[in-house]
Amino acid sequence: MSDCSLSSSWSTIAVGLPASPLDNGTLQVFLDGPCLTKYENRVFFDSVVTANLTYGSLIGVVGLTQEELFLWLPVKDIIVDDPGSGLILFDIGVAHKQLSLSLFEEPPSCKPRGMLKNQVRKEKELEAVK
């Protein structure tokens, strides 16, 4: 499975991957397979992510979960109320999480679930050696 770089662009959430805005306002993003990445927290993408595309938001997101305090919570909506604020709002149901848009300027690679766990383990081992 190849790595996939993710972008915050509303029209093509996944760079280099098929994203299909449908006539009914639904956006579908097709990945090679499920993958895991990390912005501030770990984020898991199913092989297909769908949402209703509107100006400044993705509503009713399906196929995207975010780790919060050791719990995996589904991301319901992604909203940019004020582009000038530099913030993006993630609605995870029980709470809203604001992230800096700058986190998405150079998005990390999205890797199969086990690969990211191994990378985090290696980083911790390197820190322990220092």
How do residues 66-110 score in pLDDT, each as one tens digit?
998 888 999 999 998 888 888 889 999 888 889 888 887 777 788
Sorting pLDDT into bands at 50, 70 and 90, what band is 23?
low
- Record the pTM: 0.70
Q: How many CB atoms lie within 10 A of CB 81?
A: 11
**Statement: residue 15 has pLDDT above 80:** no
Cα torsion angle, 13, 106, 40, 81, sign? negative
Query: Beta 4-5 vs 109-110: how paired, if at all?
Result: antiparallel
* Structural domains present in the chain: 4-129 (2.30.240)
Q: Is the pLDDT of residue 22 over 70?
A: no
Spatial neighbors of 67 by CB under 8 A, at least 6 apart, are 41, 42, 43, 44, 73
Reply yes or no on whether the pLDDT at 24 is more than 70.
Answer: yes
Spatial separation of the C-alpha atoms in residues 16 and 40, rounded to whole Å: 23
Please provide the size of the chain in residues.
130
